[in-house]
Structure 1
């Protein structure tokens, strides 16, 4: 059993520590005895056609535009989706997966990658602060997702995408929902990194890539981190 995790364009989409999501996936796979490797791809490098999970992070307006141009020219992310690989994108990475996204104070619309049926435009207020959401379709304490959001864009979902979660505290997409899911493509706004804060979500991505369920990991320090984060955002 092997797994390749691909971290995409950290020089463009890596300003909020979202590369930590790759480290979380790598360690949680390795702790289970899975032969997992991490491939880092920068502009000018070809995306591997062997990848199982592709990760995109946060970035500024100019970086988003550059990333879209490069990813369209490369074509590797579209091929990954076509062969049913997992794509997990955070904040700016989430926005560029959609049909279009706005940049700058004028909300100048740019064409996205079209891998998620979403569009993003500038919202009435910037979303900054802790966010707490309930993961749709899941139950129990692990269904609560925590993170830190920092974005000016509000995202509208089309019929082919479904919300990842429902917002309890924070803004998320701007309509009471957070994130989007379409097949094995997932987008979300929270940083943290979000998979360090929410190990059940990390395991969900691993299970999607592997095609089977995983036994839970007993890590008391992770449970304690979640307890503290949930308590902090709930006040």
Structure 2
């Protein structure tokens, strides 16, 4: 891409718990290692509109009040929805997963219409799901996913989406061992970490979708070498 990759960080003043903003840093560094320029477009809740011209969109997690406020912003300025309709990759985490779904219910029992980018309905459960998660991804080449979850919602997928992965440890969506949701190039998950720091293959896939071309192989930096050792240890603890 001659002009570089434009990364949209959506509403970090509302959505960004547990270091989700770090996913932007991961994508920026992955591109920098390959000499590919990038520009991060930070869209705050006070922005007049959400741009539809970026190459990849990131949403983090947030509590109920922040999540419903984010829903109002994204509904009145549909740049994200227009970009997703063209196949631009989107990553939604935790609260981001829920508002990208078709419907979510907050802890006060109020039902809210979601953006409908994935076929998913979320309702609150009796207790929070907290702890480490491992799941086997359904996306080709991604393999095992790891991350940290902390959420009250339980998400059931409809026929229009598939799980991002199948849980081998932890709760995930809370239904049928599913974790997250995928429809087209829209990827949703409950995993923090940040997820793209802990799961390089997923970040690589998002960048390949954004650029429309495979990532150039490079010598493994020390950061990825250390992560590879840790993931080997995780696999040993979770043989399934």
TM-score by length of 1: 0.93
Partner of 1:39: 41
Contact 1:90–1:187 (Cα < 8 Å) also in 2: yes
Partner of 2:69: 66
Is 1:80 aligned to residue 104 of structure 2? no
CA 1:230 to 1:96, structure 2 compared with 1: closer, same or farther past 3 Å? farther
- Partner secondary structure for residue 203 of structure 1: helix
Partner of 1:179: 180
Partner of 2:13: 11
Contact 1:123–1:174 (Cα < 8 Å) also in 2: no
- Cα distance, 1:232 vs. partner? 5.4
CA 1:31 to 1:172, structure 2 compared with 1: closer, same or farther past 3 Å? same
Contact 1:148–1:192 (Cα < 8 Å) also in 2: yes
Contact 1:90–1:188 (Cα < 8 Å) also in 2: yes
- Taking the TM superposition and a 5 Å limit, the aligned residue runs for 1:85-124 are 85-104=88-107, 106-124=108-126
The structure 1 residue matched to 2:222, chosen from 203, 220, 223, is 220
- Cα distance, 1:226 vs. partner? 4.2
- Cα distance, 1:185 vs. partner? 0.6
Q: What is the alpha-carbon distance in structure 1 between the residues aligned to residue 184 and residue 167 of structure 2?
A: 21
- Taking the TM superposition and a 5 Å limit, the aligned residue runs for 1:46-65 are 46-65=49-68
Partner of 2:131: 129
- Partner secondary structure for residue 18 of structure 2: coil
Contact 1:135–1:165 (Cα < 8 Å) also in 2: yes
Contact 1:146–1:230 (Cα < 8 Å) also in 2: no
Contact 1:8–1:41 (Cα < 8 Å) also in 2: yes
- Partner secondary structure for residue 192 of structure 2: coil
TM-score by length of 2: 0.91
Partner of 1:23: 25
Aligned length: 232
- Taking the TM superposition and a 5 Å limit, the aligned residue runs for 1:152-163 are 152-163=152-163
Q: What is the alpha-carbon distance in structure 2 between the residues aligned to residue 135 and residue 227 of structure 1?
A: 19
Q: What is the alpha-carbon distance in structure 2 between the residues aligned to residue 58 and residue 118 of structure 1?
A: 16
- Cα distance, 1:229 vs. partner? 5.3
- Partner secondary structure for residue 16 of structure 1: helix
- Partner secondary structure for residue 197 of structure 2: helix
Any gaps of 5 or more consecutive residues in structure 2?
A: none
Partner of 1:195: 196
Any gaps of 5 or more consecutive residues in structure 1?
A: none
Partner of 1:210: 211
- Partner secondary structure for residue 68 of structure 2: helix
- Partner secondary structure for residue 134 of structure 2: strand
